[in-house]
Structure 1
């Protein structure tokens, strides 16, 4: 005889979002897509690193968008609850399996008003060209201003887009969206199995070396709160192959040299003249891998607000750094970006540098929301909506499919200069031979060719151009 009591237990009312606006309250203004503030409840299971820690300590350490005082008040006033019940104290310990719920008046940052490009679509997948500055999933301060929610808003409330790969918020380019679970699982499995070849395009500070440059340096997450990663001996293995596509020197060498005088003395990065367009071929897939490896090589992405920021990493911009002695200082300086300091990339060193530094960047305005007293941010400048990193091409190693985009505008030759306008076989003959570089997937990896040059930074190799032509295989 079955039990007459229904086994399902309704979730506590405080765990249910009191407001779920549909359609999303989007509006466009000054080239930005904005969202009218609304109430929302976050429900989060206890993560492994949160176990047996005080609840206020978790919020203060893991969440950056509001000060500790806000979270303390939210816990006391009942806007933060544990398993649907008021939290007895800010020192209450969070246990494995607990659910933390936080109801707040949500203020989403604006994103670019640029629409999501469609590269290919069939009955199983949508291949999109993701705009820079837009997160894939709802996270942190972003919800409706994410790829997932924008696509749902376009195609209907009940549609569930399933991302098969992930790009950083600041990165643009190729992404795969599954229309159903099986398609998403199949494509995700291909990407995880390293049968999918990837090519990124980036724009970096200075004259990047010619030939194939291999960086095999492990990467460690320094701060999950700040999204900071670095080359460290105890990190996870990471390998990237780089190939310069073009180098554009500064327009006026005499004007550029004057920047080394006065306040610029000792700023090594300012000796890097002009900028390079570089093709990147990640062999592994670590968080911020390309950004961290390029910083380590001494050629950070030109407008990277973290890894090309002198205010955070000092005059060398972190070139060749592998020890963690200064990690605490770096995290302290980085945490000020976007609060007391303008969140700019100081090493943005090209003809736009003066205009860049004069523009308004996103930072706290000193004003607060009338509804919830949340500190308000100014709108980001157009230069802050993304970085010069674009996932240009993904293709199947077995030749079954191949999707690509053109070069982004920032990778094209500047006015009055000549250079490649597309990364094709004609403009850039290259076949990165992973076996010759010693990076083959099989167990019997062959050693790098003779003539390989070890750069100043240990573990980084520079091969002269290999005798091969055609697209990357």
Structure 2
């Protein structure tokens, strides 16, 4: 969404607050038709290892997008901006907090058209991000090279504005500083980033990246034993993935390997493989050969193109997604095979529906981040193989088996149980509904409290595993320079090695 703001009277937050405590709220009328939302100093405070932003009033302004044309204002907001429920948007339209061309629009059936400017004034609650500093690796008169912490978006987007790399760097320097990110990193990815100090240097660096004269290196921790690849020494072999990448759902941030997508190429090399602890034990007993899908590998990644989620999508296609990737390593979304070698598009609609149904608050709760992935996999497989009698027994209980996922998928043995019992499909549906409800409650992130100013339900703090994934931009280099950073150690997630 394109955002514009106007200057708002500056409040001296620092003069009226104690260190580590949130600044006082800004008092505004219930409805504001004048764009607001640019407090200075930025209302940051640090607490429990997180950088927080005190809630503030803010106005979003955007032109009507092509896909919105001909739809009602309520439908656009309820479907496109899912962090609040339909009832909230209905009330916001009726009270004039959502306007078209600066005018209140109390008609819920009002249709938006090309050229309309849609505004939404709200009491904004930004999610907290890690309090880890944005470390400067190198700085000269043209560019700043930083080590971006995981979990911090680069640009203001969605629910994030001040908790972004651009705004944090501006707040740390001065209000007139305009950082210009050159390379893009996903919010969940950490590592090397180039920030131009002025348009000329930013454009020069961007041209280098587009001209493919810069070597980009990433490191990832992935599921299972990554293949040896081609080479004289198996450990030094290279695996090449040339699958084109297509955006399946921009709203959900879902991309897949598809023949109709944009050309993409990534080189991978396994650096190390770590089998499960029981397989690696040396207690004198004969060691059991681990399954190729067990344990994890550290993989060196060289993207030769720059598509969105390229490394994450290619690793998923190869059958070795990033261990704690909330989207591409999600069995509830992709089933037990996690989309391995799937480039058909046959199940895209189902995948989008599952991802959409889960919502943002559930994604992190549906991925295993600990040392129990094998147990989860076994439970998934057991659920897939349930018979009619199993489902009936399950339906008679009060809740599904813990962590049973995607029970409606075809069983691995290929047997069509619905042919033997017409009630099977209904039982599967009933079980899936129980699973959805169970996981929805298990993954709920609401605290039960509401904001005293805007009555918005408040979220709990994100866990460490929700602040990043095991994907790190290790180095960028060309003939002129090389910038490299070490692998981070994240509390609560486990070590990379």
Question: 2: CA distance between counterparts of 1:344 and 1:297?
Answer: 24
- Structure having the higher helix fraction is 2
Question: 1: CA distance between counterparts of 2:209 and 2:252?
Answer: 27
Report whether the alignment pairs 1:17 with 2:35. Answer: yes
Question: 2: CA distance between counterparts of 1:353 and 1:174?
Answer: 33
Give the superposition deviation at 1:351. Answer: 6.9
Give the superposition deviation at 1:325. Answer: 3.2
Question: 2: CA distance between counterparts of 1:72 and 1:323?
Answer: 39
Give the superposition deviation at 1:64. Answer: 2.1
Unaligned runs of 5+ in 1: 1-9, 256-268, 420-473
Indicate the residue corresponding to 2:434 in structure 1. none
Contact (CA 8 Å) 2:96, 2:106: kept in 1 or not?
A: no
Give the superposition deviation at 1:51. Answer: 3.6
138-147 or 344-353, which deviates more:
344-353
Q: How many residues align?
A: 386
- Structure having the higher strand fraction is 1
86-95 or 204-213, which deviates more:
86-95
Contact (CA 8 Å) 1:297, 1:320: kept in 2 or not?
A: yes
SS where residue 66 of structure 1 aligns? Answer: coil
> Which of 190, 202, 225 does residue 208 from structure 2 map onto?
190
1:191-247 CA-to-partner distances (Å, cap 9, x unmatched) read: 122222211111000100121111111211121221111122222221111111111
1:307-346 CA-to-partner distances (Å, cap 9, x unmatched) read: 1111221111111122333333322332344667462353
Question: 2: CA distance between counterparts of 1:91 and 1:362?
Answer: 32
SS where residue 332 of structure 2 aligns? Answer: helix
SS where residue 53 of structure 1 aligns? Answer: coil
Report whether the alignment pairs 1:381 with 2:402. Answer: no
**Superposed CA RMSD:** 2.9
Question: 2: CA distance between counterparts of 1:270 and 1:302?
Answer: 16
Give the superposition deviation at 1:286. Answer: 1.1
TM-score w.r.t. the length of structure 1 is 0.75
Give the superposition deviation at 1:349. Answer: 6.0
Distance change (3 Å), C-alpha of 1:25 and 1:192? same
Give the superposition deviation at 1:161. Answer: 0.8
Indicate the residue corresponding to 2:119 in structure 1. 101
Question: 2: CA distance between counterparts of 1:193 and 1:342?
Answer: 36
SS where residue 115 of structure 2 aligns? Answer: coil
Question: 1: CA distance between counterparts of 2:481 and 2:90?
Answer: 52
Contact (CA 8 Å) 2:361, 2:443: kept in 1 or not?
A: no
Contact (CA 8 Å) 2:225, 2:292: kept in 1 or not?
A: no
Contact (CA 8 Å) 1:46, 1:100: kept in 2 or not?
A: yes
Indicate the residue corresponding to 2:248 in structure 1. 222
Contact (CA 8 Å) 2:294, 2:374: kept in 1 or not?
A: no
Contact (CA 8 Å) 1:306, 1:345: kept in 2 or not?
A: no
Contact (CA 8 Å) 2:35, 2:121: kept in 1 or not?
A: yes
Unaligned runs of 5+ in 2: 1-5, 8-30, 229-236, 282-289, 376-402, 404-441
TM-score w.r.t. the length of structure 2 is 0.72
Question: 2: CA distance between counterparts of 1:341 and 1:353?
Answer: 21
Indicate the residue corresponding to 1:444 in structure 2. none
Indicate the residue corresponding to 1:265 in structure 2. none
Question: 2: CA distance between counterparts of 1:362 and 1:20?
Answer: 31
